[in-house]
Amino acid sequence: MPPKRPDHLAPSTTDRPRFGAHMSIAGGVHRAIEAALLARMDTLQVFVKNQRQWTAPPLDTQDVARWHALLATPNFGPPVAHAAYLINLASADRQLYARSRQAFADELRRCQTLAIPYLVVHPGAAGEQTVSRAISRVAAALNRVFSEQPELTVMPLLETTAGQGTALGRSFAELGEILHQLDEPDRAGVCVDTCHVFAAGYDIRDPSAYEAMVAEADREVGLKRIRCWHLNDSRGDCGSHRDRHAHIGHGHIGNRGFAHVVGDPRFGGLPMILETPKGDTASGRDWDRANLQRLRTLATRARRR
């Protein structure tokens, strides 16, 4: 039997989005929360180790204690982590597949130590395999991780992708196929990235197209499994399959598309994370603050309608 899901893994009943951004852990993971609180964020996303390396030293106990103290800040959270980009749970290469699974299991344990309920991961790339074979390998990797670590309560979130190359996750149907092959499907969820779904062909600027996407997501994965959003505008047009993030309102999605997402009560209370470019050294502008302010304004206007 899977472990009982803690209350913090259930979507919040509030209709207010929880806005945050991906923050650096340079100097210690607790530094990320310090910066997020200074920027008046509601939550944040972090890497739980150096994302350019397969292995990392154990988490520092003092750093973990500081993280937990800051995480207890009233009305902050839930935090989200993002898995290293090196991980490919769909790989046909035995060595890379085993290394990816082991690295992912380690990141889940690190999240557990830090009381981070969600670990976002790209489903992986099929390479020369068929899509169905690659999907089965992702599911098999997750099944093994879950069976070997039954005590873990951290929920992996399969992220939607732009559909570039042989990347899995270009549709909710592909993510649904992975979830349907899990022995314990309630232990995994989905993260929706606005830039990625737009680049994959979901035109969230159009109200009817947005509703069609949500209906598809409900049918293929179930809305209760959507536990996080990545809010990024897109430098590429709809259906371009280009994973190129832009500041909110500065790309092809524009304010109209984001208003649909942040004003949707079906996703109220979920962490909504910016992965937009950081500061512009030439202008000195704090883009995280600017993007968050725009999102909050759009959310407020949507609630007033």
Cβ–Cβ under 8 Å, residues 146 and 187 = yes
User: Which one of the listed residues 230, 247, 252, 294 is annotated catalytic?
Assistant: 230
For 178, the 3-state DSSP assignment is: helix
Q: Is 245 a catalytic residue?
A: yes
Please identify which of the residues 18, 122, 252, 294 carries the catalytic annotation: 122
Quick check: is 30 catalytic?
Answer: no
265 alpha carbon, distance to own chain's centre: 19
Evaluate whether 273 touches 39 at the Cβ level (below 8 Å). no
Between strands 43-46 and 18-22, the pairing is parallel
Q: Which amino acid is at 162?
A: A
Selected catalytic residue, list 245, 247, 260, 294: 245
Angstrom distance (rounded) from CA 16 to CA 4: 26
Catalytic, out of 243, 247, 252, 264: 243
Verify whether residue 233 is a known catalytic residue: no
The verdict on whether 275 is a catalytic residue reads: yes
The single residue of 5, 60, 85, 280 carrying the catalytic annotation is 85
Active-site residue, 159 included: yes
- Identified catalytic residue from 42, 107, 193, 220: 193
Q: Is 280 a catalytic residue?
A: no
- Please indicate whether residue 196 is annotated as part of the active site: yes
Is 243 known to be catalytic?
yes
Q: Which of 159, 174, 264, 288 is catalytic?
A: 159
Say which of 30, 31, 82, 137 is annotated catalytic. 82
Q: Note if 241 is an active site residue.
A: no
Q: What is the dihedral of CA 161, 294, 19, 299, to 10 degrees?
A: -100
Place of tokens 């003092």: 62
- In the set 196, 227, 247, 260, the catalytic residue is 196
Catalogue the active-site residues: 52, 82, 85, 122, 159, 193, 196, 230, 243, 245, 275
